[in-house]
Structure 1
Amino acid sequence: MIWFTSDLHLGHTNAINLCQRPFETVEEMNRTLIRNYNSMVAKNDTVYILGDLSFRIPVEEANDLIRQLKGKKILLRGNHDKEYDPSLFEAIYDFYELKGYYKYPIALMHYPMLEWPKSRHGSMHLHGHQHNKFSYNERMKQEGILRYDVGVDANDYFPVSLNAICEFFGLER
């Protein structure tokens, strides 16, 4: 299965207040985000992490937390990402077009784009960065824009599958 997530901000104490996350401590946030992720993702699943895995913690601490995440991880760098241990990922990109899983390439990037390759011809764009609520994704759907925030703040602190995103937009894979 193919999964997407973004903006976990592991280790970032202030993310709790800034994003109005329902956690008392950063340790609780880290535990919950890792548990939620691992409850959905299987060992052989592929997970596209669209940036900002951690913030304000030493890189070795970040690497230790990333090691706890299941699946074959592909990172699309965000503005807060460090030089993580590259062996923790299958690949690391700034922008990537995912092909072969939907009838058009899917544009993946940490940042939201107004336009992306084939955006006027049925291609989707998946992003993070904004820490939106799910209402953002609902608004995009209502406006006929195939742009989806895969960040944890917009998805009840869980990763989201490609199948769920296609179903959300009423698209056939």
Structure 2
Amino acid sequence: MIYFTADMHFGHKAIIRMQNRPFESVEEMDRVLLQNYNSIVRKEDTVYILGDICHHMSIEEADALIKKLNGKKYLIKGNHDRNYDPRLFVDILDFLKISIDGNHFSLMHYPMLSWPKKGSGGYQLHGHIHARMGYNEANRADGQRRYDVGVDANNFFPVSTRQIVSFFEAYRRGEDC
């Protein structure tokens, strides 16, 4: 399977208050985010992390935490990412275009107004803005295939390619979402 996530902000105590996350402490947040991630992503899966893995952690603590995350990890760098051990990732990039089952995805930490294949059904996946699901729903209603894969918009879990495509396709077909 292929998954996407962003904006975990492991180690960032203030993000709980800033984003009204439902955690009592940074330790609880880090534990739940790690459990949620590993409950979905298996060791053989591929995961694209669209930035901001950790914040306010030493590089050694960050690397130790990243080692605990399942899957073959690609990092699309965010504004809070540091020089993590590159051996923890398949690749570290600023931007990436991928095709999965005929669907085209443009991956960047930041939301874009335009992206490759936007006019022909391409998707833009991002993080950074810590949106809630309402943001993704508004994009869908406006015909924009732009989706925030960040944990704040996805109940603190990674999201699969299938989930993203289904999210947009069900709406196009007029099904209840």
Q: TM-score range by the shorter chain?
A: over 0.9
Question: What is the CA–CA distance in structure 1 between the aligned matches of 2:103 and 2:169, rounded to whole Å?
Answer: 15
Question: What is the CA–CA distance in structure 1 between the aligned matches of 2:130 and 2:54, rounded to whole Å?
Answer: 14
Counterpart of 1:41, as a letter, is V
Q: Which ranges in structure 2 are unaligned for 5 or more consecutive residues? A: 171-177
TM-score scaled by structure 1?
0.96
**Corresponding residue SS for 1:78:** coil
Task: Quote how far apart the aligned CAs of 1:104 are.
Answer: 4.2
1:5 paired to 2:5: yes
Match of residue 26 from structure 1: 26
**Contact kept in structure 1, 2:104 and 2:121, CA below 8 Å:** no
Match of residue 57 from structure 1: 57
Question: What is the CA–CA distance in structure 2 between the aligned matches of 1:42 and 1:57, rounded to whole Å?
Answer: 25
Q: 4+ residue stretches of structure 1 with deviation over 2 A?
A: 102-105
Match of residue 174 from structure 2: none
Question: What is the CA–CA distance in structure 2 between the aligned matches of 1:42 and 1:154, rounded to whole Å?
Answer: 21
CA RMSD of aligned residues (A): 0.9
Question: What is the CA–CA distance in structure 2 between the aligned matches of 1:105 and 1:33, rounded to whole Å?
Answer: 28
**Corresponding residue SS for 1:166:** helix
Counterpart of 1:5, as a letter, is T
Q: How does 1:115-130 map to 2 (within 5 A)?
A: 115-130=114-129
Question: What is the CA–CA distance in structure 2 between the aligned matches of 1:20 and 1:82, rounded to whole Å?
Answer: 25
Question: How much identity, in percent, do the aligned residues show?
Answer: 54
Task: Quote how far apart the aligned CAs of 1:103 are.
Answer: 2.2
Match of residue 130 from structure 2: 131
Question: What is the CA–CA distance in structure 2 between the aligned matches of 1:29 and 1:121, rounded to whole Å?
Answer: 39
Question: What is the CA–CA distance in structure 2 between the aligned matches of 1:124 and 1:103, rounded to whole Å?
Answer: 11
Match of residue 76 from structure 1: 76
Q: Which ranges in structure 1 are unaligned for 5 or more consecutive residues? A: none
**Corresponding residue SS for 1:105:** strand
TM-score scaled by structure 2?
0.94
Counterpart of 1:118, as a letter, is K
| CA-to-aligned-CA distance 1:53-89 (integer Å, 9 cap, x gap) | 0011111101111111000000000000010000100
Question: What is the CA–CA distance in structure 1 between the aligned matches of 2:46 and 2:126, rounded to whole Å?
Answer: 16
Question: What is the CA–CA distance in structure 2 between the aligned matches of 1:161 and 1:108, rounded to whole Å?
Answer: 14
Question: What is the CA–CA distance in structure 1 between the aligned matches of 2:3 and 2:103, rounded to whole Å?
Answer: 17
Question: What is the CA–CA distance in structure 2 between the aligned matches of 1:110 and 1:102, rounded to whole Å?
Answer: 23
Question: What is the CA–CA distance in structure 1 between the aligned matches of 2:23 and 2:66, rounded to whole Å?
Answer: 20
Match of residue 175 from structure 2: none
Question: What is the CA–CA distance in structure 2 between the aligned matches of 1:17 and 1:67, rounded to whole Å?
Answer: 27
